[in-house]
Amino acid sequence: MQSEIVFSPRHFMNKTVLLFAGQGAQAVGMGRDLAGQYPAAQALFDRANAVLGYDLASVCFQGPEAELTKTENAQPGIYLVSWVAFQLLRERLPNLAFQAAAGLSLGEFTALAAAGAMSFEDGLKVVRQRGRFMQEACEVTRGSMAAIIGLDVEPTRQVCAEAGVELANLNCPGQLVISGETDKIDQACERAKARGAKRALPLTVAGAYHSRLMASAQPKLRAVLDTISLQAPAVPVVANVTAQPHGTAADLKNRLVEQVTSAVRWEESMRYLLAQGFRRFIELGPGTTLTGFMKRIDKAVQVLNVADTVSLETTVKALLA
């Protein structure tokens, strides 16, 4: 069911969308310089450690990489670093307003927390559990993913149908991700190349995210979401599943559960926001993946990011200019 929220495009001309990083953006050292430079950032890392009952900060700062890459650490780690980036930007620019938000897969939880739909602590606990449930699903299935570069959506859908896999991410023009059983992903890659894909690259991931192979995580995630307080977000947050804004708290929960096995409609989500007149996008969290996607979707808009102290300073200067 789609949301009833409607924008006036003119009203939001040149207003701001916050974008939050998804899994895969993790890198050993993420957040370390922010914690070293800003006491407010260190306080948030300490708070997260207390909430979770283990030293997530040191996993983010020091790794090892194999530990950080585990889904149950990567998801809360990226959520936390993204939240720190968001809070530091607000601390530096107390008058900065944002009128919409979106996040890639895991990042949708950070976007919802930023928009007041759930508390920071609840979001952190949920994504830790979500990561664990998805890891458990990976362990009982033999799945993988692949990036399909330079092939349009419809031919890629046909390849997926023929090979028995699923379209998992529609990121930006020329970059799609497929997901499914490992042997079928290999077949799909060959078919995609035969159809004209420039490249079909297997991804280093633990399993087949955003496919039916993740179904066992859904009831567990719903049970955890049932234990936290959810409310409609204060600003529109575009859902990955529908590429439309979330509606009521009940709808929101359903969309987050569906998201585990559904395609991430990122390009459509961004085009929806562009159609509403949004022209400034700020990516928060490790890496610049979403910045790269937006440059492929629309080169004319302003795209900024906050991942570390250097990018924080650059973004603050740009916003003050």
pLDDT score for 204: 83
Which of the residues 179, 210, 211, 262 is marked catalytic? 210
Eight-class DSSP state of 240: T
- Report pLDDT for 14: 65
Find residue 220's DSSP bridge partners: none
Catalytic (active site) residue 105: yes
Residue 229 appears among annotated catalytic residues: no
125-146: burial string, b at 16+ Cβ within 10 Å, e else = bbbbbbbbbbbbbbeebebbbb
Catalytic residue among 3, 82, 105, 211: 105
- What is the per-residue pLDDT for 267? 98
Q: What is the per-residue pLDDT for 72?
A: 93
Nearest to 283 by CA among 157, 64, 98, 130: 98
Between β-strands 16-20 and 166-172, what pairing exists: parallel, antiparallel or unpaired?
unpaired
All domains of the chain in start order, with CATH: 16-139+216-320 (3.40.366.10), 143-202 (3.30.70.250)
* Residues in the chain, pLDDT under 50: 1-13
